[in-house]
Structures are given as C-alpha cells and as structure tokens.
Chains A and B, each alone.
Chain A
C-alpha cells in the first residue's frame, strides 16, 4: 500500500506542477501580448495603465483599453473555447483528429453567420454593430454549428472508421463553403466586403461591445463542459459501456454538443474560422498531464489553449514591424506540425 500512496503523491504533484506552470505562463504572455503592437508603448506605461495610475497618457490608455486588452482577452477566450470544444469532440467521437474546424463545426457556424449577414445586409464590420446584433450573430453561429454536429453524429452512428468520418467532415465543410460562396455571389458589394473581412479571421476586430457577448458565451460553454466531465470520462470507453454504467447517453451527448456548439460557434462568429488549436491543444494537455480525466484535462486545455493563442497573436504582430499576419495562418503553422505528429504516432492504432 505504501508504494501506491507514493505513486498517488507523485502523480498529484505532476498534475499540480503542470497546471501551476501554465497558470503562471498565461498572465506572463498576456502582458507580453499587451506590449507588442504597431504603436510602441513601454512596459512601465502598460503596467501604469492597467493599475489605473493617475498620471498615464490618455492616448496610451485609449490604445490599451480599447484595442490591446480586448484583443488579448479575445485571444485567451478563443484559445480556451476552441481547445475545450476540441477536447470534447475528440472524446465523444473517440477520434484523436476530431476538432471543430476539421469536422465542419466551424464552417457550420460560418454558414449561420453568412445567412444572417448576407441575408440581412451586413450586421458585421459596418457602423451598425450593436449589442443586440452581436447576440444575433452568435445565435446564428450556435445554430449552424449545432446542426453540423448533429449531422456528424448521425454519420458517426453509421460509419465507425475514423478516417472515413474525417473525410466526410472535410466534404461537409467544402459543401458548406460552396453554399457560402454562392450566397456571396448574390450579395451586394458592401455586405460582401464585411463578410470577406470576417472570414479572414481576426482577434483585433472584436470590440468591447462584442466582448460583452463573447465573454459570457464562452464562460457558459466552459461551465457546461465542466459539468459534463464525468460523462466525458465515461464516453472514453464508448457509448455501450457508458450506457451500462448508468449514463443517460442522449442527455450527456446533448450537454456536450450544446457546450461545443456554444464554444466553437461564439468564437467563429466574432473571430472567423480559426483552425488547428482545437485539435492540437487537447493532445498537449493529455501529454503533459499524463491523464485521461476530464476534470483535469478541461482546465489544462483552457490554459494551454489560451497560451497558444497569445503566442500566435504575438507572432502575428510580427514584433518590430507594423504589419499584422492573419491569425488563421499563424495558428495553422503552429498547429499543423502537432497534428502531423499525432497522425504519425497513431498510424497503427486509432486511439485518443
């Protein structure tokens, strides 16, 4: 028994150490992200602005409060939301390569937004961004991603092979993008422009007003994920086992899908489609914690996701230059090597 207790302790400290490390790194990179931008602001001025010091420059305050802080918070929310959505999808589909972007959930959100924006003549990017219209866009994205999740679930009950499901997911994404393209073809120039800017994906375009919608949405999504952590553990063994352990499969699946649709939908609604974070981060979390328990994987994915997005945002600023890269491309370049590594590692056995 002594040996077992020793093991418990070493594992507990490993989990504790990993979570502590990431929770220290996130605020550090948050500050670093505030520091970097096209207009030079010194670290001292940033700290002064954050702690509401009397004698700070009003222009600096404006930049920090209205641009840099919303952007950095958006980065944290994006990373956390996409990672938790990816983690839940990988567990429920028991597929190491599942993620909101790969299985078409993000494109489902795009379709929802496209139908709303192109149908109503431009709610995004224009001058008419209001609190109500922000909720409208988010809701459209939720419905779009939720419907695609149900469609993928239907397919997954018929087809068990992981690669087949992924290929079907990619086909569904392409189909949806075609529909979005056709919608664009029939829309007028100004609406089209605002939509195209949106599809490029950006953290910086999220205003404080939109953040007031995004923040509660992501928090609700993450809360539901935490509430489903026991169900997610049971899903690891597959639905047959979960059922014989007394889980109400439909209810559990509904909770998980609700959370995934809210998380992936909200982020896609405001920041555009952002890829690869959702697939890569849960694997880094599992590897660093060496556990499959979701009560630990969810907080760890939140921290690693936030960190990855902050790093991506810092890279996209091209420190030292005034140019900004599309955030999509940066996350793809960071995420793709990790995804390739997962595929090579799992070549012979499809496991989480």
Chain B
C-alpha cells in the first residue's frame, strides 16, 4: 500500500452486531454502527464496559456473523471470504494470555506464516526472513530462542504483534492489547502500533480503556456510546464534546484541557497561591485533590500559600507554618 493514497479497508454501514441463538432469534448488542478505517491508520475503539466493543471486534475478525447491515473488508462483504482468504487480509490478537511452555519466540511468530506455508508448515527462506523482520520490527531481536513463558507481559504482547506482522496482513485487530500492562509498556505498545500503521501502511484497529494513550497516538477513534457510534480524530471528538458523552451515567467528567477523565471534586475551600514553575503546578494539583481551588485575589482568601520549593509556607488568620513536602502541607490543610 503506497502512502499518500489511503484505501478503505474496513467499512461498517448500518451494522447490527450480536449473538444469533438460532436462525430466527438473535440478541442484538448494538445496532446502526457506521464507521470506517483506511490504510495507514491506527484506530482506537473506545467505550464503556459491556457496550459491545468485544462483540464488534469479534464480528470484524469473523468469529461472529453480522446480524444486519454491511461489513466490508477491503471492499468485499466479510461473509463472502473463506477462512483462508480472510487470514491473508486480517490477523488478530485476543485478550487471552498465551501460556505454553517450551514454545520459543521464533516458533510462535512463525505460526503467523500458517496461511502462507504448505500442508506441513515448512518454512522456506522467504518465510524465515519475514519472521526475523517481524521480530526486529517489535524490537525483540536477540529474543528469538527465548521461551515465551519466560517473557514479561509487555514482551509477550510484542511477540503476539510480531506474529501478526509475520502473517503479513493489511489489517490487524487487537482486543485490549494493553489490558495487563504497566504504564510504560502501555505507551510503548500503543506507540509501536502507531509506528507500524504509519511506516508499513497497515490498518490497525484496537480496543482500549486507556484514553490518554489512545488520544495521543491514534489517528481515529471509534467511540461507542449508548445511543450512537461516533468516529473522528481524537481532537475532533474532544472539540465537538462527543468524548464527554462517554461516561454519561457516571460521576466522571472529561477535562477538555487535560484530555482525560476526572472525578469532579466538591469545591468549597479557597487558597491564594504565590509561586512559579513546576512546583506551583503540582501544588495546584495537590490542593485540588484536597478540595481547594485557587483564589482569584489575595484579599478574599483566608489561606495564603507561598511556594518556594523545596519549602511551602502557609499563612492563615491565626497561624503561619512552614512545610518541607506537599504531603505534610496537605495533611495540615485538612486539619483546618
């Protein structure tokens, strides 16, 4: 796929997804889904638990049939593909952690060559080259003969991504690839997906609960809301306030400045702050957590705080105290 001329890879048109219990009855999880994804795009699927993210991914990956509407992969209806044809276009990473001992990184990644090799799965030179390249692309060169049960969660997830690269498909679908990972691994994996989408022109669709990384790295969000599915660049969805609707039944609100969800604090107490730089910024955050807002002017505020890192001085009507950490400052403020 040449960069610069994106092709439509996934196209959902008025799609209903759900489970067919028998020929006539079916339980619809979500209907009227219209969205698309092009080559070279990293698309994040966002939505509350139970809204149907997994069902949608399973439908696109071909595990479940669409109930109604159209689901096209590379221009053709998904139901018209055989399993083998689909495997040449699309690869998949599930939420399940693979636990197999005595399986090397190389052997697991080489399973990605499944649809390309002969009946016995014999690897030819071209297969080996592609496998080595896939391992290199996820940054695991030198790990080829490690056993996968000796890898960290982040490394194992990279191996699963390398397997999709070895499968050499235009479309890659991942169901919550960052679910079990720590913060730095979350960033690393999503950034890796971003890089693969942009450098190799792949279409990568992943579901996630981690908005910060999704907003920072994805080209497009598919936002599953209670009454509709919205798509667009993350920034578009912030500006048109669609992201605010994500947790509408909840106490969470979306902070459009910070680009993340926050729990609203009960505001009541005010403090006037003097100071500058990073120390001031973090002091404001610490005070916000404890229910203090920043006073506009000095006269009305009962509490004055001067930030002079590494010390903080607090001046109230009756006292003046000095602290050497935000922790002790906050503890003092809570006693007032």
Contacts and interface: CB of A to CB of B under 8 A. Distances in A.
A283 to B, nearest CB: 10
A236 interface: yes
A245 B100 contact: no
Given A244-B61, A247-B114, A292 B100 contact: yes
The interface residues of chain B, by DSSP majority, are classed as loop
A229 B122 CA distance: 11
A249 to B, nearest CB: 8
A282 B55 CA distance: 37
The interface residues of chain A, by DSSP majority, are classed as helix
Nearest to A1: B132
B92 A244 contact: yes
A3 B142 CA distance: 8
Contact of B83 (A4, A240, A243, A352): A243
Interface in B116-138: 117, 119-121, 132
A229 B92 contact: no
B93 to A, nearest CB: 9
B298 interface: no
Interface stretch (B37-45, B101-109, B218-226, B231-239): B101-109
Contacts of B88: 246
B167 interface: yes
A231 B307 CA distance: 66
A236 B114 CA distance: 13
B327 interface: no
A290 B100 CA distance: 11
A351 interface: yes
Given A3-B142, A230-B120, A241-B94, A351 B99 contact: yes
A11 B94 contact: no
Interface in B201-229: none
B91 A244 contact: yes
Interface string A218-234: 00000000010110011
A236 B91 CA distance: 17
By CB atoms of chain B within 10 A, which of A4, A292, A295 has the most? Answer: A292
Contact of B121 (A3, A295, A350): A295
Contacts of B10: none
B111 A351 contact: no
B102 A290 contact: yes
A234 B91 contact: no
Nearest to A246: B87
A232 B61 CA distance: 22
Nearest to A96: B101
B119 A227 contact: yes
A248 interface: yes
Given A7-B144, A245-B115, A292 B87 contact: no
Contacts of B96: 238, 240
Interface residues of B, number: 37
Interface string A285-304: 01101111101000000000
A237 B148 CA distance: 12
A349 interface: yes
A246 B102 contact: no
A245 B112 contact: yes
Contacts of A245: 87, 91, 111-112, 114-115, 167
B94 A4 contact: no
A246 B114 contact: yes
A287 B147 CA distance: 13
A253 to B, nearest CB: 13
B73 to A, nearest CB: 12
A248 B83 contact: yes
By CB atoms of chain B within 10 A, which of A3, A238, A245 has the most? Answer: A245
Contacts of B92: 240-241, 244
Interface of A: 3-4, 7-8, 11, 227, 229-230, 233-234, 236-238, 240-241, 243-248, 286-287, 289-293, 295, 349-352
Given A229-B121, A236-B111, 14 more contacts: A11-B145, A233-B121, A236-B98, A236-B100, A237-B111, A245-B91, A245-B114, A245-B167, A247-B83, A248-B83, A286-B101, A287-B102, A289-B102, A352-B100
